[in-house]
Amino acid sequence: MARLLNDFEVVRYVGEIPHPYEPALAAEFIALTHRHLERGTDRIFAVEGRAEGGLIGCIALHLQAGRTLARLGYWFGRAYWGRGYAAEAISLALGYAFELPRMTRVEADAHVDNIGSWRAMEKAGMSFERIIQLDFRARGFTAAARRYAISRVEWQQRATSGAPAA
């Protein structure tokens, strides 16, 4: 995890991941994922490569608003970009989110220059809504980002229409 996240190109558009990324930070993050699992709060998943068999990225659903809204976030090691992993993981995470009984909407944001990220969200069925200002805390600035979202109804319509999975 630390090896993948210590690449600035991987974290440049992820506002909460510091750089450099030390192994101790990975250990803290893994412990945090266990606490979330125990509390039944955020859902954080490691993504394993098909052929590689090891960690290639991470995707998370941050539950909000009485668990009716989730914020989606993710990252992938640079060697795995452009191979369909992000769109597939987003699609699987959305399916998981809408299996939660009260979930009605999932949102995600991507820096306006992060074309690969917003294309992955579109491929998974999310729609662009508007430009927002996003705090990239770990980078120390605020920047324009594209807000994407999908509702439970839209997800169900996509599933019943036979729309291809990402």
Biggest CA pair distance of the chain: 46
Average pLDDT along the chain: 92
The answer to whether position 166 is within a domain reads: no
Residue 90: its pLDDT value, please?
98
| Strands laid side by side in the 105-111 sheet | 43-48, 55-64, 69-76, 105-111, 141-151, 127-136
CATH code of the domain in which 139 resides: 3.40.630.30
Domain hosting residue 94, numbered range: 2-160
The answer to whether position 55 is within a domain reads: yes
Q: Write the CA distances from 52 to 14, 21, 48, 56, integer angstroms.
A: 24, 22, 8, 8
Number of domains comprising the chain: 1
Q: Are 79 and 47 in contact (CB under 8 A)?
A: no
Give residue 53's pLDDT band: very low, low, confident or very high (50, 70, 90). confident
Give residue 159's pLDDT band: very low, low, confident or very high (50, 70, 90). confident
Least Cα distance to 125 among 81, 99, 95, 100 occurs for: 95
Residue ranges in the chain assigned as alpha helix (H) = 2-5, 8-11, 23-39, 85-97, 115-123, 152-160
Give residue 66's pLDDT band: very low, low, confident or very high (50, 70, 90). confident
The answer to whether position 68 is within a domain reads: yes
Q: Residue 41 has what DSSP assignment?
A: -
Residue 106: its pLDDT value, please?
98
Half-sphere exposure of 43 (CA within 13 A, CB side): 20
* Residue carrying structure tokens 């996509």: 158
Strand partners, 134: 143
Residue 15: its pLDDT value, please?
79
The answer to whether position 165 is within a domain reads: no
pLDDT in tens, 115-150: 999 999 999 999 999 999 998 877 788 999 999 999
Q: Write the CA distances from 145 to 20, 22, 58, 117, 158, integer angstroms.
A: 23, 27, 20, 11, 25
The answer to whether position 48 is within a domain reads: yes
The answer to whether position 13 is within a domain reads: yes
